Amino acid sequence: MDDILESGWTRAELRRVRGDDSGAISQRGMDPRMWLGALLVFAGYYLGARLGFALTFKPHAVSVLWPPNSILLAALLLVPPANWWIVLLAAFPAHCLVELESNVPGGMVLCWFISNSVEALIGASAIRYLIKGQLRLDRLRNVAVLCLCGVFLAPFLSSFLDLTFVALNHWGGDSYWEGWRIRFSSNALAALTLTPLILAWAGKGLPVRRKLTPIHLFEAVGLFLALLVIAYLIFNKLPLGTDPALLYAPPG
């Protein structure tokens, strides 16, 4: 081995040849892309949690749409399993910050982070086990595995843990099964809509942004503002007692 090192090979190169690069981070520091990824996870989780709390209506303890877990799942699928701890570490301060801002007790804050992380880990582990290599959404089998493990199985199993934590902390006014139903539905919907979007965007990378024309940007901003105004009018300006769901019903 010393003869090989003297001939010009570095220890890092030898590790790559042997497939053993476990000491790479400790010796050269974290890859700058991981720092950027951690920052994006923090920002995405924080904004997703803020949206989730905005869509939590009293007396329910859980949101009708909870994006952070789907963001966490996508982040885990985009990095090697050896770096999953970095993703969870980046999400933890964002979780604590938004939960404490919403006056959630400290015990419930920690419990919810555990259940959120368990959901993302269940989904990511099952998907990684069934799909080797890069997760591409241009194959029917990959999409089916994502839906089965990430959209159904992970929210289904983690909702039992989540609502057990809610019951132990005496949080919210729902019964166990009512809270379980809302939590499972909200997390499954978020995983079905957000996770594939993040994975598809990350897979295409920068070329998507280079193809974005001013017309496309104007259209996207206009659509977002229109939806924002409509949502504000529906949930804040309707007469008291009006069910917003009636606006989606067909006339007649």
Tokens 């053993």, located at residue = 20
DSSP state of 134: -
Q: Alpha helix (H) ranges present in 19-58?
A: 24-28, 32-54
* Burial zone of 181 (CB within 10 Å; 0-12 exposed, 13-18 middle, 19+ buried): middle
d(CA 47, CA 69): 12
Query: Which CATH architecture is the domain 30-204 placed in?
Result: Orthogonal Bundle (1.10)
Express the helix, strand and coil content of the chain in percent, nearest 5 each: 75, 0, 25
Confidence at residue 171, expressed as pLDDT on a 0 to 100 scale: 80
Lowest mean pLDDT among 60-64, 108-112, 155-159, 164-168: 60-64
Where residue 219 falls among pLDDT bands split at 50, 70, 90?
confident
Q: Which pLDDT score, from 0 to 100, does residue 59 have? A: 66
Model confidence at 90, in pLDDT bands (50, 70, 90)?
very high
More reliable by pLDDT, 153 or 244? 153
Q: What is the pLDDT of residues 113-146, one digit of tens each?
A: 999 999 999 999 999 999 987 788 888 899 999 9
The domain spans of the chain are 30-204, 209-240
In this prediction the pTM is 0.70
**Residue with structure tokens 């983690």?**
158
CB 77 within 8 A of CB 199: yes
Angle (CA) 232-233-234 rounded to 5° is 95
